[in-house]
Amino acid sequence: MAKSDRSSKRISKVSLKRSLRLYGFMRPYKWPFILGLACLVVSSSASLLVFSSLGKLIDFQGEALGQRVNQLTLLLGGVLLLQALASFLRIYTFAWVTQRTIAAIRQAVFDKLLSLPVAWYQKQRSGEISSRVTADISAVQDSLTTYLAEFIRQIIIVFGTVFILMASSPKLALFMMGTLPVMAVLAVFFGRFVRKLSKKAQNEVAESTHLLEEVLQGISTVKAFTAEWIQSARYKKLTDAVIHTGMRNAVYRGLFAVFIILFLFGAIISIVWYGSHLVAQNELSHGDLFSFFMLSGLMAGSVGGLADTYSQMQKAIGATESLLDILDARVELSELKAPQSLPKPKGHLRFEQLSFSYPNRSEQQVLQELNLDIPAGSTCAIVGSSGAGKSTLSYLLMRFYQPSSGRILLDGQDIADLDLGAYRSLLGYVPQDVMLFSGSIRENIAYARPQAAQDDIEYAAEMANAAQFIEELPQGYNTQVGDRGTQLSGGQRQRIAIARAVLANPSLLILDEATSSLDTASEKLVQEALERLRKGRTSLVIAHRLSTIRNAQQIVVLQNGKVAETGTHESLLQQGGIYAGLVRLDEGSNA
Ligand code: ADP
């Protein structure tokens, strides 16, 4: 028990230290921040001054009473004005610093997400990342704008009031403070609970968001199988869990409020009782007692607030921890800049004894000692049943993952030794599921070369058989593609992706053919464009339809992660093996 206590304490110390690193983003704005702090000190001290002076107003007696009262009131009015100004300036400068700090954190997290390897994303769920990052950043923002200032103000008030109270009446001050440590201890316990529960609540909310996204994406499948009720029940289970955790959280907050109220009110009554005795014994004036109550109220409010602020800061620490998990994850690109260029390669590809298993499923060997030689400028088509490892091969070529053993050589050089950005800029990828980004058609074609001239873009579109349909659109190249390109047909999206590749002018091409989902007319256009694109470039084609790859210089049949057969269309047909069987099946289904 004692041991686990110690270790949990150590963890929280480490986590605090780690979290403070995030405040490093504030460093460039140190001076405005210090100005804000100074304003905070001024406004907090001013409120101490006003509260402690009120008693004096009551105690004034004798000649010129009215005049002295007026003078002091006027002075207090001046102090209030100063306090108001300082408060405004503090809020303004803190916001100035926070906005810039948060923007820097946002940018750092975004850039980090861009440079994380695909393997990292495999371990996460995308809905979870975005909702968590959003929630975490807003928690950090709250802590910077509000809670940090509150925390400092409350500390100043607490120490200031203790000092003034001790100076005015040590007996009464000690009597009042005898109960404070209890509060402090309660605050710490409460903070621990909330920290644990808020993390749990965040996870649960992320889980329900994930289900929502999944259902929205697959809404047609849900409907087709009349699985609405199943999904609804799943969602209900998740939202119930959120309620449960939220309510448990509320109970602890509520209990804490109960303690504070009972304790505070009890304390106030006993202090009034003891203070009245001291006045009766002439140890304290009425004015002193009045000031004492005012200051005690101020202090009690700040101590109570301190516990709350403390728990909010704990929450922010939880949030910074998960942001730091992202910021500390290992990157694949060390800098986000336009990639340097490598000399144009000839394009001879060799896969040597290539073995691979996915990091999250290490027991399954997806590729097993695969050997393959693709001469420069030739097309190698990979066929094989679903799950044979075709896509995996292309991922390794794109360096999304690292081989477990073996190598991939480009012109005799291990691609793992090349600068990642420079290497990838040699590649062109036309995926099965084309992703267009919101923006115009022009922007989407010029994705890899934003500065490309209009002539080049039009040429690329021409080569990709896309120019005609683009020019027929009312806004031509300036047509907005809509969210993820939903306003274009599948074949049109594919041809834009091909134009994108033509413009990028890559040395190596990876084509994940998806013409099977297209109608014959669009398929013909896409095929033609692809053939043009392949000319003179080393190409790896993941073939889904055998009819489209007859002309490939090399066809490789992949089975269980190994090369089962290799040859040209004719030679493989003659062999009468797996490929010949597949062709017969294909022809049968087309007949
Ligand atoms: P193909 O493209 O030939 O259909 P894949 O390369 O997609 O095959 O998949 C090969 C094998 O690797 C399959 O058994 C599949 O289940 C597995 N696999 C694919 N992607 C992953 C992944 N991200 N994590 C774990 N296993 C995967």
Binding site membership of 391 for ligand 1 (Cβ less than 6 Å): yes
| The two structure tokens encoding residue 194 | 């909330």
Strands 508-512, 427-430: pairing is: parallel
Binding site membership of 387 for ligand 1 (Cβ less than 6 Å): yes
**Phi and psi angles of residue 381, each rounded to the nearest 5 degrees, phi first:** -100, 135
Count the helices and strands in the chain (H runs, E runs). 20, 10
Burial 225-252 (b: 16+ CB within 10 A, else e): eeeeeebeeeeeebeebbeebbeebeeb
Please check whether residue 91 is in contact with residue 33, taking contact to mean a CB–CB distance below 8 angstroms. no
3-state class percentages of the chain: helix first, strand second, coil last, to nearest 5 = 70, 10, 20
Beta strand ranges found along 453-559 (DSSP E):
508-512, 538-542, 554-559
What H or E segment, with its residue span, contains residue 206?
helix 180-217
Please check whether residue 119 is in contact with residue 401, taking contact to mean a CB–CB distance below 8 angstroms. yes
User: Is residue 65 exposed (0-12), middle (13-18) or buried (19+ Cβ within 10 Å)?
Assistant: exposed
Domains of the chain in sequence order: 3-327 (1.20.1560.10), 349-426+512-522+538-591 (3.40.50.300), 436-505 (3.40.50.300)
| The two structure tokens encoding residue 229 | 């009720």
Q: Would you give the end-to-end CA distance of the chain in angstroms?
A: 75
- Put the strands of the sheet holding 405-410 in their side by side order: 367-374, 349-356, 405-410, 413-414
Angle between helices 30-59 and 148-168 (to 10 degrees): 30
Please check whether residue 532 is in contact with residue 525, taking contact to mean a CB–CB distance below 8 angstroms. no
* Span from the CA of 387 to the centroid of ligand 1 (angstroms): 5
**What per-residue confidence (pLDDT) applies to 262?**
76
Q: Which tens digit of pLDDT belongs to each residue from 163-201? A: 998 988 898 888 888 765 566 556 666 666 766 777 788
Binding site membership of 392 for ligand 1 (Cβ less than 6 Å): yes
Closest residue CA from atom 26 of ligand 1: 358
Q: Which tens digit of pLDDT belongs to each residue from 248-301? A: 888 887 877 787 677 766 777 788 888 899 999 988 888 888 888 888 888 877
Closest residue CA from atom 14 of ligand 1: 387
Pocket test for ligand 1, best of 356, 390, 391, 392 (most atoms within 8 A of CB): 392
Burial 451-470 (b: 16+ CB within 10 A, else e): ebeeebbbbbbbbbbbbebb
| The two structure tokens encoding residue 208 | 């329900």
**What per-residue confidence (pLDDT) applies to 373?**
93
Binding site membership of 358 for ligand 1 (Cβ less than 6 Å): yes
What H or E segment, with its residue span, contains residue 293?
helix 286-328
**What per-residue confidence (pLDDT) applies to 97?**
92
| CA–CA dist 491, 524 (Å, integer) | 10
- Report the 10 Å Cβ neighbour count for 175: 17
| CA–CA dist 454, 457 (Å, integer) | 5
* Span from the CA of 162 to the centroid of ligand 1 (angstroms): 67
Binding site membership of 357 for ligand 1 (Cβ less than 6 Å): no
pTM of the model: 0.71
| CA–CA dist 405, 409 (Å, integer) | 13
| The two structure tokens encoding residue 288 | 């002193």
**What per-residue confidence (pLDDT) applies to 486?**
66
DSSP 333: -
Three-state SS sequence of 129-187 = HHHHHHHHHHHHHHHHHHHHHHHHHHHHHHHHHHHHHHHHCHHHHHHHHCCHHHHHHHH
DSSP 341: -
**What per-residue confidence (pLDDT) applies to 81?**
94
| The two structure tokens encoding residue 533 | 């694109």
pLDDT tens for the chain, residues 1 to 591? 333 333 333 446 776 777 778 778 888 999 999 999 999 999 999 988 888 888 887 887 666 677 878 888 888 899 999 999 999 999 999 999 999 999 999 999 999 988 888 888 877 776 678 888 888 898 888 888 788 888 888 899 989 998 998 988 898 888 888 765 566 556 666 666 766 777 788 888 888 998 999 899 888 888 888 889 999 999 999 999 989 988 988 888 787 778 767 776 677 778 888 889 999 998 888 888 888 888 888 887 787 777 778 777 877 888 888 888 888 888 776 666 666 677 888 989 999 999 999 988 888 899 999 999 999 999 999 998 888 899 899 999 999 999 999 999 999 999 988 888 889 889 988 888 787 888 888 998 998 788 889 999 999 999 888 888 889 888 888 888 876 566 788 888 888 988 998 898 899 999 987 665 677 777 788 888 888 888 889 999 998 778 778 888 999 999 988 999 999 999 998 988 888 888 888 776 654
* Span from the CA of 363 to the centroid of ligand 1 (angstroms): 13
| CA–CA dist 474, 487 (Å, integer) | 13
* Span from the CA of 404 to the centroid of ligand 1 (angstroms): 15
Q: Ligand 1, closest atom to CA 385? A: 3
| The two structure tokens encoding residue 181 | 């440590």
Binding site membership of 122 for ligand 1 (Cβ less than 6 Å): yes
Q: Positive or negative CA dihedral for 246, 248, 253, 258? A: positive
**What per-residue confidence (pLDDT) applies to 407?**
93
Q: How many CA atoms lie within 13 A of 387 on its CB side?
A: 3
**What per-residue confidence (pLDDT) applies to 35?**
94
Could you tell me how far CA 111 lies from the centroid of its own chain? Answer: 10
**What per-residue confidence (pLDDT) applies to 11?**
45
